[in-house]
Amino acid sequence: MSYAVQVSRPKILIPEKVSPDGLALLKDQFDVDEKKGLTPGELKSIIGEYEGLIVRSETKVTADLLEAARKLKVVARAGVGVDNVDVVSATKHGIIVVNSPSGNINAAAEHTIALMMAVARNIGDASASTKASKWERGRLVGIEAKGKTLGIIGLGKVGLTVARIANGFGMRLIAYDPYANPTLAAAASVTLKSSLAEILKESDFLTLHTPLIASTKGMIGAAELATMKPTARILNVARGGMIDEDALVAALDAGTIAGAGIDVFTSEPPQTDSSASRLIAHPKVVATPHLGASTKEAQENVSIDVCEQVVSILSGELPRSAVNAPIILPEEYRTLQPFVTLVEKMGSLYTQHYTSGLAIKSFRTTFDIIYEGKLGSLNTTKPLFAALVKGLLTPITSSDGLNINIVNAEILAKERGILINEQRSRENVEDKPYASFVTLRARASRSVSNARSEVGRSVSPSAARSLKPQEDEDQVIQGFVSGNKPFISRLDRFKGEFVPRGTLLICRNYDTCGKIGVVGTLLGKAGVNINFMSVAPLHEDIDEGVGDVEGNESLMILGVDKPVGDDVVKSLIAEEGVFEASVVTL
Ligand SMILES: NC(=O)c1ccc[n+]([C@@H]2O[C@H](COP(=O)([O-])OP(=O)(O)OC[C@H]3O[C@@H](n4cnc5c(N)ncnc54)[C@H](O)[C@@H]3O)[C@@H](O)[C@H]2O)c1
Ligand SMILES: O=C(O)[C@H](O)COP(=O)(O)O
């Protein structure tokens, strides 16, 4: 008599329509349950049995669901956007979230072109009218794409693909993307513009291809629509929320915008009597139900992509596109983790403090990152390199773009035109209160430094004068780790310790009495509480020319309990002696 030992196989749940091509890769090793139409309650009641969960955009992977997911190791998003996944909560639970950042790019780009032509030639309206037994050739005259200007907001993967196709139509291509790679733009015949205003004014067709992040949310509202040509047509195959839907309906009603092709909405499916449903119902709108990625080919691509990653993760290997990437391997974790956090924060601080608000934003900057002291003898700095790239890009790419890990960081940096030189120094750091520290030095190109002096962070008129001497200076951020906690110890010419965490207001001002009171009063009036404050005087080692306020300046760093509005920042710099201010969230 023989006995077969029953070993239970890991289980994977698929509550949405995912292409079978990828699922076939799972079936040898795992039990795959395809269960569509589950309510949130039903999903929660069964999720505890599963090691893997594969979703598209409809399943809401909430903190509550993840709390109940006792065995879950991976959430795989068969597509790009992870806005339906609570990534922070997944990270807290040690669950890796992966996606497929490029499997559906072509599908989204082709859908954009389909909407553009449908809007240009009244295809939706004409089809409905003809099916209703009408023959309205006179009413349904369209326009051609050839010779028209296509304005592209967001020249990333989808935006560039749209540009390449539209180039074949004989369209003039312009784009606004402060972080675009100029070489790729030029190769696609796209002229990069330095302001959104120029794009709005010149576009016959305007198409959006950015992620939905703070800087893009509501970026096209009534004021922006009012600057566009009344013959302009708008396309959105990116995310709902970037266009103010009510404002677009009003502009279409008033005839100040000619038409729109929209695939994505603020509520999906749209609720009755919502702004999304009013937009969909508008006669000048061609609407599709989030179909950008819905082609057979794209669904095969994303399915295979994420299923391969599920296999990797459940076999204990690194995935290629983890959204909450383990940029550090387990054996390196103990030594490097606090420095990974530090370097990521330094990168993020750089992007937010130096590039937000610039007329010309760019990473055409060369970064030197110098690891000193004990860090100088590391076997590998790959996780720190990846952390820097992640920190630099995170503030501008949202969770959609966070697939940065030790495998892909170098390629992603190159794609963005980010040049990073790593240097190690084992030199004695005995004069320092810490055994290792990291310096990030950005050598700004001429165009960037010019932009800084023109617009920069919010600057007071008197600051323009004192900013001048900084134009060609390197930008420096220095930090160290103490008790596993990251600290910033230098920001440009200022030396002072602060913890890079939460929302920080950074003000450069005359180091005179009363400044703290002024800032405190203005924040108090705006209902913003100060959690901590640090004053950084000029760095003692710095003897470079610092302008006519030399030796008399300091940096004030305030940890605040909520974001500080632009109006408050403007009032701050209107104060005598406050030169510039920026708000960063780390
Ligand atoms: N409708 C669909 O089914 C569908 C399918 C695929 C992708 N998408 C969406 O399309 C969008 C673009 O995807 P992608 O893969 O090209 O992303 P991407 O990250 O490759 O490109 C986004 C670009 O936006 C730029 N950007 C960021 N902030 C900006 C700002 N404030 N102003 C101007 N540009 C800014 C970035 O520099 C980047 O180049 C995403 O929102 C994605 O979720 C939708
Ligand atoms: O983010 C994406 O990949 C697209 O919006 C597609 O979403 P879908 O998988 O639900 O079609």
Tokens 């005839």 sit on residue: 255
Contact, 170 vs 146, CB < 8 A? yes
Q: In the chain, where does the domain assigned CATH 3.40.50.720 lie?
A: 11-102+298-314, 105-287
- Report d(CA 406, CA 399) in Å as an integer: 17
Would you tell me which CATH number, out of the four given (3.40.50.720, 3.40.50.1440, 3.90.1150.110, 1.10.10.10), belongs to the domain 11-102+298-314? 3.40.50.720
| Helix (H), strand (E) at residue 47 | none
The CB of 349 under 6 Å from ligand 1? The reply is: no
Sheet holding 494-498, edge to edge: 419-425, 366-373, 436-443, 475-482, 485-491, 494-498
Q: What are phi and psi of 556, to 5 degrees?
A: -110, 125
- Report d(CA 508, CA 13) in Å as an integer: 53
In angstroms, the Cα distances linking 290 to 112, 214, 255, 339, 517 are 11, 22, 26, 41, 51
Q: Which residue of 210, 213, 219 sits with most ligand 1 atoms within 8 Å of its CB, as the best mutation to test the pocket?
A: 210
- The yes-or-no answer on residue 278 being catalytic is no
Nearest ligand to the C-alpha atom of residue 236: 1
Contact, 384 vs 409, CB < 8 A? no
The CB of 479 under 6 Å from ligand 2? The reply is: no
- Report ipTM for this prediction: 0.99
pLDDT value at position 455? 31
369-384 tens-digit pLDDT? 999 887 877 777 888 9
Instruction: Give me ligand 1 centre to Cα 66, in Å.
Output: 27
- Report d(CA 404, CA 320) in Å as an integer: 9
- The yes-or-no answer on residue 77 being catalytic is no
The CB of 237 under 6 Å from ligand 1? The reply is: yes
Q: Do the strands 11-14 and 52-55 form a parallel or antiparallel pair, or are they unpaired?
A: parallel
Q: In the chain, where does the domain assigned CATH 3.30.1330.90 lie?
A: 330-585
Nearest to 583 by CA among 441, 399, 454, 458: 458
Q: Look at the pTM and tell me if it is higher than 0.80.
A: no
Q: Which residue of 100, 290, 305 sits with most ligand 2 atoms within 8 Å of its CB, as the best mutation to test the pocket?
A: 290
Instruction: Give me ligand 2 centre to Cα 98, in Å.
Output: 14
Q: Which residue of 57, 106, 242, 301 sits with most ligand 2 atoms within 8 Å of its CB, as the best mutation to test the pocket?
A: 57
The architecture CATH gives domain 330-585: 2-Layer Sandwich (3.30)
Atom of ligand 2 nearest to the CA of 78: 9
Torsional class of 492: left (φ above 0), alpha (ψ -120 to 50), beta (otherwise): left
Atom of ligand 1 nearest to the CA of 239: 41
pLDDT value at position 548? 46
- The yes-or-no answer on residue 268 being catalytic is yes
Q: Which two tokens stand for residue 152?
A: 């592209």
Atom of ligand 2 nearest to the CA of 291: 11
Catalytic residue among 34, 268, 332, 497: 268
Residue ranges of the chain whose pLDDT lies below 70: 1-7, 94, 316, 318, 325-334, 356-364, 398-408, 428-434, 444-473, 539-551
The CB of 104 under 6 Å from ligand 2? The reply is: yes
Cα of 319 vs its chain's centroid, Å: 21
CATH number, span 105-287: 3.40.50.720
Catalytic residue among 209, 290, 353, 452: 290
Measured by CA distance, the residue closest to atom 11 of ligand 2 is: 293
548-579 b/e (C-beta count within 10 Å ≥ 16 → b): ebeebbbbbbbbbeeebeeebbebbbebebbb
Atom of ligand 2 nearest to the CA of 57: 10
Q: Which two tokens stand for residue 98?
A: 């992966």
The CB of 347 under 6 Å from ligand 1? The reply is: no
Quote the strand ranges of 400-542, DSSP E.
419-425, 436-443, 458-459, 475-482, 485-491, 494-498, 503-510, 530-537
- Report d(CA 297, CA 304) in Å as an integer: 11
pLDDT value at position 403? 55
Contact, 376 vs 361, CB < 8 A? no
